[in-house]
A and B are shown apart, each in its own frame.
Chain A
Amino acid sequence: MRLKSLLAAGAVVVIAGSALPAAAQGTLDQIVERGEVNCGVTTGLAGFSNPDSEGNWTGLDADICRAVAAAILGDAEAVNFVPATAQQRFQVLQSGEVDLLSRVTTWTLTRDTSLGLNFAPTTFYDGQGFMIPKDLGVTSAMELDGATVCVQPGTTTELNLADFFRANDMEFEPVVIEQLDEVNAAYFSGRCDVYTTDASGLAATRASVAENPDDHIILPELISKEPLSPAVRQGDDQFLDIVKWVVYALIEAEEYGVNSENVDDLLENSSNPVVRRLLGASDELGGHLGLSNEWAYNAIKQVGNYGEIFERNVGSETPLNLERGYNDLWTRGGLMYAMPVR
């Protein structure tokens, strides 16, 4: 009896060993079946993805997740937010725990090619900066020789930091801590002279964590380009297309003056062919993406266009008080340029 069961177990192992894992279902089908989008976000970064006092995720990155959910499922709230640290983020995407990573992630060649992921269009153009207590009297990043610098591991920030000091022949001592809360605590307790991350992140930290935001200044130099972009798993072109065109649709909507308030009116009455195509009043663009024809309408109606998302989360009315800068529309001198939605 024992012999038989052992033999059976052995046979099972051998058969299972030779079997290949079943081919994965497409991400879109999984989302539709599940009824929600799994979206990887930060563990809490004001303005980008941050749980409010009621546990609702707010922020620009969180709204991108919502826009994708609205486009696919017609419901912007059908999002399951999965917080991930800077170090975990690629694994949660690779392993399929999340469908979409919308987590202040810089688009680089190495990440695009060797991590098994693809980037959708940039949702926020950023650059790495330095924050330093005002009373140290430093006004330029070139005066930072010998400073102790707080930084999060596993980020492009960590690499840019080393590059910058090497290129300018200066020394620094890194303090590398994984958890955002801990790294903030280390900076504000004075363990480090300088805190470095993306300039938007510095603004968020200064606005939301500092006891007195005016005690800290952000140095004028930006030492890198940080195009923060959503990422999806490589090998599912359809889902990449969906995320890509949802982002473009949000930008296109701002460019053509479509926002969450006038979208119903424009759907009924607009005679502009671009707006009619975008909102699904004419043509069958949603079908090309495997979605309903109201995909962009739902995203704009429920989440707003790119400009609305920006102003709501990081704009001048918020504690972060960021200017549009590079993130303005191309028509106003920024870099936000949507490919034609047609």
Chain B
Amino acid sequence: MALNAERDTRVSSSTPFWYDPKFRAIFFQIVTLAAVIGGIGYLVGNTITNLERQNVASGFAFLDREAGFAIAEHMVSYSAADTYGRAFVVGILNTFRVALLGIILATIIGVIMGVARLSNNWLVAKLASIYVEVMRNIPLLLQLFIWYGVITVSLPGPRDALNPITGVFLSNRGFMVPAPVEHPIHFYMGIAFLLALVASYLLYRWAKRRQIATGQQFPVYRTALALLIGFPLIAWVVGGAPAVVEVPELRGFNFRGGMSLTPEFAALLFGLTFYTAAFIAEIVRGGILAVSHGQSEAAFALGLRRGMVLRFIVLPQALRIIIPPTTSQYLNLTKNSSLAVAIGYPDLVSIGNTTMNQTGQAVEAIAIFMAVYLVLSLTISVLMNWYNRAIALVER
């Protein structure tokens, strides 16, 4: 022991300190950090100096100024008299809306197409293959132009709008449907729906526990569906069943009233959805193929039905492979939504570009772009990682 200690001290005293791994680790970290901070500082300093020299105003004060331009689609109230800050909020919400809907639809279509490519039916499998190969090999921007062109050129003007069902109009101004007139009961129906969600979850847990204890099954899904529809319906009836529906009507140039889906939004949503779904289809196909065939054979041998094999044996294992690359596709879809600027959908980038041009605050607007996309992407990553952990293999 004593000898050992003596040798240790001798070694450390005779070795120069720069051979000490601890010292090296810290030293290199400090150097790297200094280089990064120095680099950023150099760029920022240069930018500020140059902007000052050119007498370009800087800072975020412009967000409080009146924007003065109109925005076609806004989920929160907005007029030209509102501020640039509010215009940005409108743009962020528009980006968020198309990204969220796109992710949901792309997932549904992607899963269907992925499974279809594995179908035993030759025609279905080939059609799915053609879909995937065509969609993922044409640049997204071109697809957006095609969708936008198809919608605006092929559909008639508002005066000759197609009218497939009473109250529903299809024209190159968009897709107009009747909408219920705003009423306080909608709020309570929303609460009833949330309550139904909670009740369904509790029901699911109760049924599972009962099945484990007694072996008896309970029709959970049908009951839950009834709850989800029934609760809001009851709230609506209790509230006096207000059924005022606003039907779109051609007045002057365009339809007014009701709800509308604009060609810009539709083109962007279709483009993003079908493009991303092609990639998701391949991921799903790969995930399913990666589950060894012996697994499902064994399950069949145990007497499980086809649906149960998919639900309890194949999908849980496939999902582990599917989720991480699908997260990247979700992130891609969100960021690709900035191509909206080409077809006139007022997303964050479109509104930011206009702001940049009216105020000259390019650096600030781009900083906002980066911050928003970063936050959106990180949120998606966090949610998907959390889901990934939840379904990960639990080793005993």
Chain A positions near chain B (C-beta within 8 angstroms): 3, 6-7, 9-10, 13-14, 16-17, 20-21, 86-87, 90-91, 94, 110-111, 114-116, 136, 144-148, 153-155, 158-159, 161-163, 165-166, 172-179, 182-183, 185-186, 189-191, 193, 233-235
Residues of B with C-beta under 8 A to A173: 72, 254
Residues of B with C-beta under 8 A to A178: 341-342, 344, 350, 353
Q: How long is the Cα–Cα vector from A182 to B340 in the complex, in angstroms? A: 13
CB of B13 within 8 Å of the partner chain: no
CB of B271 within 8 Å of the partner chain: no
Does the CB pair A182–B362 fall under 8 Å? no
Residues of B with C-beta under 8 A to A6: 28, 31
Residues of A with C-beta under 8 A to B79: 166
CB of B180 within 8 Å of the partner chain: no
A14-B34, A163-B68, A178-B344 given; 8 more Cβ-contact pairs under 8 Å: A3-B18, A13-B39, A21-B49, A114-B360, A136-B253, A148-B173, A154-B357, A182-B344
Q: How long is the Cα–Cα vector from A251 to B39 in the complex, in angstroms? A: 51
Q: How long is the Cα–Cα vector from A185 to B343 in the complex, in angstroms? A: 11
Does the CB pair A235–B256 fall under 8 Å? no
Does the CB pair A94–B152 fall under 8 Å? no
Does the CB pair A114–B359 fall under 8 Å? yes
Does the CB pair B360–A176 fall under 8 Å? no
CB of B354 within 8 Å of the partner chain: yes
CB of B298 within 8 Å of the partner chain: no
Does the CB pair B254–A9 fall under 8 Å? no
Does the CB pair A166–B81 fall under 8 Å? yes
Q: B326-349 CB contact bits vs A (8 Å, 1 = yes)?
A: 000000000000000111101000
A185 to chain B, nearest CB (A): 8
Contacting residue for A10 out of B31, B263, B342, B350, CB 8 A: B31
Q: B26-65 CB contact bits vs A (8 Å, 1 = yes)?
A: 0010010011001101100110011101111100000000
Does the CB pair A154–B70 fall under 8 Å? no
Does the CB pair A90–B72 fall under 8 Å? no
Q: How long is the Cα–Cα vector from A172 to B173 in the complex, in angstroms? A: 13
Residues of A with C-beta under 8 A to B173: 148, 191
CB of B251 within 8 Å of the partner chain: yes
Does the CB pair A162–B39 fall under 8 Å? no
Q: How many residues of B contact A (CB 8 A)?
A: 54
Given contacts A17-B41, A153-B354, contact A159 B69 (CB under 8 A): yes
Residues of A with C-beta under 8 A to B57: 114
Does the CB pair B54–A182 fall under 8 Å? no
B352 to chain A, nearest CB (A): 10
Q: How long is the Cα–Cα vector from A258 to B269 in the complex, in angstroms? A: 59
Does the CB pair B354–A154 fall under 8 Å? yes
* Identity of the chain A residue whose Cβ is nearest the Cβ of B357 in the assembled complex: A154
Does the CB pair A154–B356 fall under 8 Å? yes
Residues of A with C-beta under 8 A to B41: 17
Given contacts A10-B38, A191-B172, contact A158 B69 (CB under 8 A): yes
* Identity of the chain A residue whose Cβ is nearest the Cβ of B251 in the assembled complex: A146
A206 to chain B, nearest CB (A): 19
Given contacts A20-B49, A90-B360, A153-B357, contact A146 B18 (CB under 8 A): no
Given contacts A10-B31, A87-B356, contact A172 B152 (CB under 8 A): no
Mind listing 16 A-B residue pairs with CB under 8 Å?
A17-B38, A21-B46, A87-B357, A114-B359, A154-B354, A161-B70, A163-B68, A165-B70, A174-B69, A176-B344, A177-B343, A178-B342, A178-B353, A186-B152, A191-B152, A193-B254
Does the CB pair A175–B254 fall under 8 Å? no
Contacting residue for A154 out of B38, B343, B358, CB 8 A: B358
